[in-house]
Structure 1
Amino acid sequence: EAGLPAGVLNVVNGDKEAVDTLLDDARVQAVSFVGSTPIAETIYQRASANGKRCQALGGAKNHAIVMPDADMDNVVDSLTGAAFGSSGERCMALSVAVAVGDEAADAMIDKMQGRMKTLKVGPFHDAENDFGPVITKAHQEKVCGYIDSAEQQGARVVVDGRGVQVPGHENGFYVGGTLIDRVTPDMTCYLEEIFGPVLLVVRANSMEEAMQLIDDHEYGNGTCIYTRDGEAARYFSDRIQVGMVGINVPLPVPVAYHSFGGWKRSLFGDLAAYGPDAVRFYTKRKTVTQRWPSAGVREGAQFSFPS
């Protein structure tokens, strides 16, 4: 209906068998994928082994550093939308707030509790709601399992989204906005991508310690810093080992003419999605060198490297 010529866009519904066919068939020259890191890595390895170009975008654990000088009201508004929008089911969801200093952490948590009381959870088709259910019953149980594990491993559940009930939709796969404090880097909830409306708070003593936490994590998709200090922002953006960086921007999704993609185990392959990298990914470069000497003009053999 859009007018594309036949064969430009084809939709194949299937499971692993269909995917493996695409990865193995010689007619397929390039494979682009978005999903979890284990699957992304498997697809990248198999496609590459078959001589195909591959970009495979994997998981994320996006951190925000909250500096003591940050505008805390702006921080709370930003974090609320970035952590709970789309029920946290997006690769750019901001799922960890690293507060520098206990004073900043306490102020942020105090304001977050008040802000989260206004969150409206319910059917996605009602525009009055801030976010809807998670995708399946199994995923609802998985998200709640991460909250359980955080509690069991010593974190403090400040706002609990487990067991939320939506009138008229009692069997819906709902998880309310959840805020967990005193999270440490060895906890399961911190190490793995939750992919739900859960915001973790990690406390750090310095900006350098906060940055080291981010650099040490296996994922490097997106990150941001909240600060009024231009020097701190520049230091952070220059040195952090993450592919997409925001300065007082909670979801650092670049506009379409810049490339989208993380570092470390968030992206397998050398070329990111859209922007200039997308053009490079879907094209093959060819260099043509030409010379048209005048008739009858001879320069003789040249034994040096041509230039």
Structure 2
Amino acid sequence: MPEHHDLQHWINGRPHAGSSGRSLPVLDPASGAEVTIAPLASAQEVDEAVAAAASAARTWRATSLARRAEVLYAFRNVLRERADELARVISRENGKTHGDALGEVARGAENADFATGIPELLKGSFSEQVSTGVDVHSIRQPLGVVAGITPFNFPAMVPLWMCTTAIACGNAFILKPSEKVPTSAILLAQMWRDAGLPNGVFSVLHGDRETVDALIAHPKIAAISFVGSTPVARHIYTSGTAAGKRVQALGGAKNHMVVLPDADIDAAADAAVSAAFGSAGERCMAISVVVPVGDIAEPLLAAIKDRISALRVGPASDPDADIGPLISAEHRDRVLSYVAAGMAEGADLVVDGRTGDHPGDGYFMGPCVLDRVTPTMSVYTDEIFGPVLAVSRVNTYDEALALVNEHEFGNGAAIFTRSGGAARQFSFDVEAGMVGINVPVPVPVAHFSFGGWKASLFGDARIYGPDGVRFYTREKVVTSRWQTEDTSRMSLHFPST
């Protein structure tokens, strides 16, 4: 793997030194130490990558589905063989524990598994004799060159959500990873090369907003996939569609977990703690708000506090660590400011992880729980993206449902109950794109699709799964009529066997 000061782009199947003269340091959030330096691509380097990708796409789209599936199968094997190596790179730059990083790689690999079925996934339809002597059939064809812009919190999984399906469908894919966690993207590029993917079909450009805007504006890029914050998702969606591109832009979240009075308290508490504080709360499917209904609030909160007391904050190098650092000092301070604002607005801080025996100079913060949070507080309205759990008490199911549905985000929601009827009603009523029933983080498996509602998704294209296949291809319908031949003469042209 590239070491200190050696990080490069990946263009046309090989490392490509940056030439823009711009770069950013990449820091280890567990120590604050510099890991490497990432070059930032200029518009000229975007042109180079797109030219190589466009050339490769012409050949790759003509490659048989059987061969594409073979490459995808080889890639998923390489990915699993090198999972530990990839997880260690993720932990070094993102800060998450090694177990969390391995889980990320495993969930990303599911998308490679799904994409190996591309011969089945691209099957079209056929109608015979729609009119006299006329048949109609449909086919799905790749777009050409597509790009993915991915966040810091899942530097392997989110790119795998995109590139596996895009490449299987016959496109060339350009990845612009977060400049905070760039090295895993180069490792993915090496894996694609080792799996036999032709040069130019997968490229990596490190960069910042200047790079992103160059990708959006480039006339030969047909589609943009994005996962990140809502303000950036809105910008990419509006500017990308204005440029005539397909765009799938997934934004922020504020996921609620409703706990009914009949719920299993131990199961609900376990779920709330793991879903709120796993990956230090830096995930769009984290549980941000627990909504206890009625008398279950006090025993549930006691069970949550008990479990938090057993959590250990530390670097990925600590095998006993449950929660790693936040991505940067600036982000940690932002998260801390929300805790202070919640207290100032009247919430009760019942678990205080702001200070503690946190190791070294990293960007660590322990779990915080704010009780009696109301919908007017910033700790409730905003996506915090850190280890902060809000508790909003209500008296009835209807109040809980209204709380969830009135929030601007609609990414995910969960309910904990023993009642099948209540669970079914919640899944019917709730305004969220992904719903968990006694499951706190309802990320769909790879053969479904991922995406929220409201301000959590711009456009109507969800990511990976069947929606991914539709997004990275376009349908063509062929209507055909052939002149009827005298079958008595066919033997003259087609000898029988």
Shorter-chain TM-score range: over 0.9
**Residues 1:186 and 2:372 aligned together:** no
Aligned to 1:148: 340
Deviations 1:96-122 (A, max 9, x none): 001111x21111111111111111111
Q: Secondary structure at the match of 2:481?
A: coil
Aligned to 1:305: none
Aligned to 1:202: 392
Aligned to 1:302: none
Aligned to 1:132: 324
Q: Secondary structure at the match of 1:286?
A: strand
| Unpaired stretches in structure 1, ≥5 consecutive residues | 297-307
Using the alignment, how far apart are the partners of 2:195 and 2:368 within structure 1? 42
Aligned to 2:272: 79
Using the alignment, how far apart are the partners of 1:113 and 1:19 within structure 2? 42
Using the alignment, how far apart are the partners of 1:36 and 1:284 within structure 2? 28
TM superposition shift of 1:295: 4.6
Aligned residues: 293
1:285 is aligned with what amino acid? E
Aligned to 2:284: 91
Using the alignment, how far apart are the partners of 1:200 and 1:64 within structure 2? 10
Q: Secondary structure at the match of 2:314?
A: coil
**Does the CA-based 8 Å contact 1:164-1:174 persist in structure 2?**
no
Q: Secondary structure at the match of 1:118?
A: coil
Using the alignment, how far apart are the partners of 1:176 and 1:281 within structure 2? 40
Aligned to 1:57: 250
**Bigger fraction of residues in strand:** 2
Using the alignment, how far apart are the partners of 1:286 and 1:125 within structure 2? 52
Using the alignment, how far apart are the partners of 1:245 and 1:8 within structure 2? 35
2:232 is aligned with what amino acid? I
Using the alignment, how far apart are the partners of 1:107 and 1:290 within structure 2? 69
**Residues 1:162 and 2:345 aligned together:** no
Aligned to 1:19: 212
Pick one of 91, 111, 132 that aligns with 2:303. Answer: 111
Q: Alignment RMSD, CA only?
A: 1.0
Aligned to 1:273: 463
**Residues 1:7 and 2:200 aligned together:** yes
Deviations 1:210-238 (A, max 9, x none): 11111111111111000000010000001
**Does the CA-based 8 Å contact 1:165-1:174 persist in structure 2?**
no
TM-score, with normalisation over the residues of structure 1? 0.93
Deviations 1:256-305 (A, max 9, x none): 00001111110112111111000001001101111223159xxxxxxxxx
2:201 is aligned with what amino acid? V
| Unpaired stretches in structure 2, ≥5 consecutive residues | 1-193, 487-497
Deviations 1:64-104 (A, max 9, x none): 00000000011011111111000001111111001111x21
Q: Secondary structure at the match of 1:29?
A: strand
Q: Secondary structure at the match of 1:55?
A: strand
Using the alignment, how far apart are the partners of 1:170 and 1:155 within structure 2? 31
Aligned to 2:452: 262
1:138 is aligned with what amino acid? E
Using the alignment, how far apart are the partners of 2:206 and 2:308 within structure 1? 39
Deviations 1:97-148 (A, max 9, x none): 01111x2111111111111111111112222111111111111111110100
Using the alignment, how far apart are the partners of 1:117 and 1:16 within structure 2? 41
Using the alignment, how far apart are the partners of 1:124 and 1:265 within structure 2? 33
**Does the CA-based 8 Å contact 1:157-1:181 persist in structure 2?**
yes
Using the alignment, how far apart are the partners of 1:181 and 1:124 within structure 2? 30
Percent identity over paired residues? 53
Using the alignment, how far apart are the partners of 1:60 and 1:125 within structure 2? 30
Aligned to 1:300: none
**Does the CA-based 8 Å contact 1:87-1:196 persist in structure 2?**
yes
TM-score, with normalisation over the residues of structure 2? 0.58
Q: Secondary structure at the match of 2:390?
A: strand
Pick one of 407, 413, 421 that aligns with 1:223. Answer: 413
Q: Secondary structure at the match of 2:480?
A: coil
2:291 is aligned with what amino acid? V
Using the alignment, how far apart are the partners of 2:319 and 2:412 within structure 1? 28
**Residues 1:285 and 2:475 aligned together:** yes
1:188 is aligned with what amino acid? S
